[in-house]
Amino acid sequence: MQILIGQQMEANRINALNVRYQADKDIAADMPVQQKGRFSKDWIE
């Protein structure tokens, strides 16, 4: 039972990270091109 709960928590955590990642991608896609270019450059540094 304990192992099952641990796996469920891990799945929830991964799912939450995935949702946040998708939201970040959507925000980046909505940005004007100039702003998006600056945004991605900041990520590289």
Q: What angle do CA 13, 25, 14 make, to 5 degrees?
A: 10
Mean pLDDT over 27-44 rounds to 63
Provide the pLDDT for residue 24.
87
The Cα 32–Cα 40 span in angstroms is: 12
> Is residue 30 pLDDT above 60, yes or no?
yes
Query: Domain locations in the chain?
Result: 2-44
CB within 8 A of 36, min separation 6: which ones? 28
Mean pLDDT over 17-21 rounds to 90
Axis-axis angle for helices 33-44, 2-30 (nearest 10):
130
Provide the pLDDT for residue 29.
81
